[in-house]
Amino acid sequence: MDAAHARLCLLLHSLPRLDKCQLRYWLQHFGSPQALWEADTEALAGTAADTAALADLAIARRYGRHPQAPRDIDRQLDALLAVGGRVIALGSPGYPPLLAAIHDPPPLLFQRGRGELLQAPQLAVVGSRKASPPGIRYARELAAAAAGSGLAVTSGLALGIDGAAHRGALDAGGGSIAVMATGVDTIYPRRHDGLARQLLENGCLVSEFAPLTPALPQHFPARNRIISGLALGVLVVEAALPSGSLITAGTALEQGREVFAVPWFPGHTGGRGCLRLLRDGAAMVESIDDILAELGALFQCQLELAPAASATTAADAAGQPWLLSLVGYEPVTVEDLVATSGRSVAEVLAGLTALELERSVVRHGGGYIRC
C-alpha cells in the first residue's frame, strides 16, 4: 500500500468541518485525493465549497494535520499498515462501480484482503442476529449456491444470518465481503475473529470508518447502505419487525436494487419481516434459481464487464443523452436499459442516479419513467 496516499486520505477524513458530502463532491470534481490536495485557491473557489471546509483544508496544508482533528492520523495510519489495509478513494479505478452509483457513496473505503472482489457481481445476504436453526441453515445453503453460481456474497459480519452467509460462500469456495461498522483493524463481534481470518484469505473486509473507530450504534444503519450498494440484490433470510435487515432492504429499494425474501409461516415471529417484504413486492426465494431468474441479464452483464466497469463513476454517466432517450413514459427496468444500450450495469445505474437528481426520470412501477 502507498503509505503517503493512505496518510493523505486519513488527513482529509480527519478534517473536523469537512463533511462527507463535501469530500465526496471534491473527489468527484478533482478525480483523486492528490489532485484535491494540489488544487489552487481559484479551483477550490470554483466548487462553491463551504468556507469552513476550505479553512480546514488550508490549515491542514500548512501544518500537515489539523489541531482539532478528533483522532491522531499517524496512529490510524500505523493501525492500517499493521493489518495490511489500504484506502480506495471515490473515483479511483479500484472503487466499486455499483457503490459509486448510489446517491451517497462513501468518499473513502478502507479495505483488507482480496480487494478485486469489490468489482465482482454480488448478492447481499442479511438477516437476524438471533436467527433460528432453519434460518442459519437456509442462509448457509443459499449463500453457498450463490457462490457456486459466480456471485460473491456480501454481508455485515454480524452473528446469526450474516455469519452463516459468509461461511456458506467460503464453504463453496467462493468469495465473500464483510462490510464493517468499525475500522477494518477492529473485528466486531470478537466471536468472529476466526471468520474474519478466513475472509482475509478468500474474501475481504471493507469499511467507510477509519482505523481505530469502535463499534457505535449509529454506525450500523450507515453501513447497511454500503451492503446493499455493493450488490445487485439483497436477500433477507430471516427478520423480525422491526429490524436492521429491513433497513438494508429499504436502502436497496432506494438504490434500485432487487429485494428477495424467504417465506416463513405466519406464526414464526422471526420471519415476520420477510412476510412484510413479500407483501410489499419482494421476490420470494426458495432456491438460488429464483434469484438468478430475477437478476437475469444484470448478473451476466456485470460478470462479463466488471473489469471494464471498475473505472466507472457516477460522473461518467451524468447528463448523457443516450440514457434519457431510452426512457419513455412507460416503466422501463434497469435490465432492459442494459440490454438496449449495450452499456454496463454500473454505467446505467450511474446515469439513472444522475437523471434522478436532475429530475429527468423517476422510479415507478418497478422501473423508471421520464418526468
pLDDT in the model for residue 344? 72
Q: CA–CA separation, 287 vs 179, rounded Å? A: 25
61-89 pLDDT, tens digit per residue, is 999 999 998 889 999 999 999 999 999 99
SS (H, E, C) 193-249: HHHHHHHHHHEEEEECCCCCCCCCCCHHHHHHHHHHHHCCEEEECCCCCCCHHHHHH
Q: Looking at the whole model, is its pTM more than 0.85?
A: no
Closest to 226 (Cα-Cα) out of 171, 198, 184: 184
pLDDT in the model for residue 100? 92
Query: One-letter amino acid identity for 170?
Result: L
pLDDT grade, residue 309 (50/70/90)? very low
pLDDT grade, residue 20 (50/70/90)? very high
Residue 105 in contact with residue 134, Cβ under 8 Å?
A: no
Residue 110 in contact with residue 183, Cβ under 8 Å?
A: yes
pLDDT in the model for residue 1? 58
Q: CA–CA separation, 192 vs 189, rounded Å? A: 6
Element (H, E) at 99: helix 97-100
Query: Is the peptide bond between 106 and the residue preceding it cis, with omega within 30 degrees of 0?
Result: no
Within the chain, which residue ranges are assigned CATH 3.40.50.450?
115-297
Class at the top of the CATH hierarchy for domain 312-370: mainly alpha
Q: What is the DSSP string of 246-299?
A: HHHHHHHHHTT-EEEE----TT-GGGHHHHHHHHTTPEE-SSHHHHHHHHTHHH
Q: CA–CA separation, 204 vs 197, rounded Å? A: 10
Element (H, E) at 164: helix 161-171
pLDDT in the model for residue 330? 79
Kindly tell me the sign of the dihedral angle through the C-alpha atoms of 185, 310, 123, 19: positive
234-288 pLDDT, tens digit per residue, is 999 999 998 999 999 999 999 989 999 999 999 899 999 999 999 999 999 999 9
Residues 306-334: what's their mean pLDDT? Answer: 62
- CATH number for the region 115-297 comes to 3.40.50.450
pLDDT grade, residue 347 (50/70/90)? confident
Q: Which CA distances in Å does 360 have to 195, 328, 348, 350, 366? A: 45, 11, 14, 14, 17
Within the chain, which residue ranges are assigned CATH 1.10.10.10?
312-370
Beta bridge partners of 258: 233
Is the pLDDT at 158 greater than 60, yes or no? yes
280-302 pLDDT, tens digit per residue, is 999 999 999 999 988 875 665 55
